[in-house]
Amino acid sequence: MEQDELLDFVEMSDEIAVHQHHPNVILHLDIDYFYAQVEEVLKPELKTKPFGVKQGLNIVTCNYLARERGVGKWKPLKECLEKCPELVVVNGEDLTNYKVYSKRISEMLHAMFGPTEKMGLDEHYIDVTKEIEKEILCDKSSTKQKEHHFIGPMYPNESTFDECKCQCKERLMIGTEIAQRVRTKLQEELKLTCSVGIAHNKLLSKLVGQMNKPNNQTVLAPTAAKAFMCELRNLRSITGIGEKTAARIEELGIKSIEELQNFDILKLQKKFGNDMAQRLKEMSLGIDSSDFKPSGKPKTVGLEDSFRPISIRSDAAEKFHALLSRLMIQIQDDGRVPQSIKVTVRKYDPAKKNSIRETKQCTLAPSLFRCSDGKIQLTEGAEQKIIKNVLMLFDRMVDLKQQFNITLLGLCFSKFQEQKRGPASIANYLMKKQDVEVQSITNLSNETCSSFNDSFRSKTASPSSSLMDFETISNNSLDLSGSEESEEPSPKKRKKINLLLVARNRRYSSNDDIASPSKLNVSDLHLNAFDSCDSIRTTPTRIISPLCSEPIACSSSSLRQVEIPPNIDPTVWQELPLDVQRELMMNWQTTTSAPSSTTGTTSIPKTKLSGTKKANNNNTLHKYFVKNS
Predicted confidence (pLDDT) at residue 197 exceeds the cutoff of 90 = yes
The residue ranking higher by pLDDT, 153 or 478, is: 153
The CATH classification of domain 300-419, taken from the options 3.30.1490.100, 3.30.1300.10, 3.30.70.260, 2.130.10.10: 3.30.1490.100
Q: d(Cα 37, Cα 39) in Å, to the nearest integer?
A: 5
Q: Quick check: is 147 catalytic?
A: no
Region 332-346 average pLDDT = 91
| DSSP notation for 545-601 | ESS-SSSS---TT--EEEEE-TTS-HHHHHHS-HHHHHHHHHHHHHHHTSGGGTTSS
User: What residues contact residue 558 under an 8 Å CB cut-off, 6+ apart?
Assistant: none
pLDDT at position 167 is 77
Q: How far is CA 129 from CA 18, 143, 171, 200, 296, in A?
A: 20, 23, 8, 9, 20
Region 115-125 average pLDDT = 94
Q: What is the pLDDT of residues 441-475, one digit of tens each?
A: 333 334 444 444 444 444 444 443 333 333 333 33
| Greatest CA separation for the chain | 113
pLDDT at position 139 is 84
Predicted confidence (pLDDT) at residue 547 exceeds the cutoff of 60 = no
The residue ranking higher by pLDDT, 563 or 87, is: 87
In this chain, the answer to whether the domains covering 3-49+86-284 and 300-419 adopt an identical fold is no
Q: ∠337-338-344 over CA atoms, to 5°? A: 155
Query: Which CATH number does 3-49+86-284 carry?
Result: 3.30.70.270
| DSSP notation for 291-334 | PP----S-SEEEEEEEEEEE--HHHHHHHHHHHHHHHHHHHTTT
Predicted confidence (pLDDT) at residue 272 exceeds the cutoff of 70 = yes
pLDDT at position 382 is 94
pLDDT at position 541 is 52
What are the residue boundaries of the structural domains of the chain, listed by start?
3-49+86-284, 300-419, 437-616
pLDDT at position 590 is 74
Catalytic residue among 5, 123, 189, 243: 123
Q: Quick one: which of 539, 557, 536 has its CA closest to 548? A: 557
Q: d(Cα 521, Cα 210) in Å, to the nearest integer?
A: 65
The CB-side HSE value for 68 (13 A sphere, CA atoms) comes to: 7
Q: What is the pTM of this model?
A: 0.58
Region 132-143 average pLDDT = 86
Q: What is the pLDDT of residues 353-372, one digit of tens each?
A: 889 999 999 999 999 999 88
Q: What is the pLDDT of residues 556-572, one digit of tens each?
A: 444 445 667 776 777 77
Q: What is the pLDDT of residues 34-50, one digit of tens each?
A: 999 999 999 999 999 99
